[in-house]
Amino acid sequence: DIARLEWIVTSLLDQVRPTLDATARRAERRLTQTRNEREKELEEEINGPRGSGVKGSGVEGGLNKKKKKRKVKDGEEGEDNDDDDDDDDTDSEDEEEDAPIYNPKGVPLGWDGKPIPYWLFKLHGLNHFFPCEICGNESYRGRWNFEKHFTESKHAYGMRCLGIPNTKHFHGVTKIQDAQNLWAELRKSVEGDLFDGVKEEEYEDSHGNVLNRAQYEDLARQGLL
């Protein structure tokens, strides 16, 4: 019985072997094909190869021609509709650009030429103005612009005209009188920190005692060293 079953299986395998080999070759070929090549091959299997003279029946040919005509007509109508839509969009955009900008609160304009959102306007404090007398009574809109201007050339020029260095000690000072008073105090503290040779210079006598300059000179004049 086993031998008989093997003979039957072998006979069936011999009959379907060409189909199996063709299927394997086709599977390998499809792995190396692109999508367009696979679609072209499928179309040739259904309708026959192009240029072979094999065409569809008269009914199918007529239907295909009607479909092609309908597609061409629909395409032309679609292009006309697209052109009309483009014209309408262009007209609406032109009308929007020509329309006056409604900005009753004086909000600054953004990069698109339109007022920025009001919440952003409030967030950055652009509704507050900060004047600076050193910059010629220039007003800066918003805290960020005000803080930034202390490092800019205009404020540095104003400080230079006053004879005051534009250091971090004067950051936040906008009044000329305040800047001058602060500069006077800083000069006093700086002068107090300078080395005074008369008071701070030290000498040592023959006994190893450390004396300042004034004491040493007094003892030297008295001959006590």
pLDDT of residue 192: 63
The answer to the question of residue 214 being in a domain is yes
| pLDDT greater at residue 211 or residue 101 | 211
User: What residue numbers bound the domain in which 211 lies?
Assistant: 200-224
pLDDT greater than 50 at residue 147: yes
The answer to the question of residue 24 being in a domain is no
Name the domain count of the chain: 1
The answer to the question of residue 204 being in a domain is yes
Specify the DSSP element, H or E, that contains 202.
Answer: strand 202-204
CB of 225 closer than 8 Å to CB of 205: yes
Q: Which residues contact 183 (CB under 8 A, 6 or more apart)?
A: 164, 170
pLDDT of residue 132: 93
pLDDT, tens digit, for every residue of 88-105? 555 555 555 556 776 666
Specify the DSSP element, H or E, that contains 204.
Answer: strand 202-204
Average pLDDT over residues 103-131: 74
- In the chain, the percentage of residues whose pLDDT exceeds 70 is 67
pLDDT, tens digit, for every residue of 54-89? 444 444 445 455 555 555 555 555 555 555 555 555
pLDDT of residue 56: 43
pLDDT, tens digit, for every residue of 166-196? 888 888 899 999 999 999 988 888 776 655 6
| pLDDT greater at residue 184 or residue 120 | 184
The answer to the question of residue 63 being in a domain is no
The answer to the question of residue 108 being in a domain is no
Please tell me whether residue 172 adopts helix, strand or coil conformation.
coil
Mean pLDDT of the chain: 75
pTM as predicted: 0.38
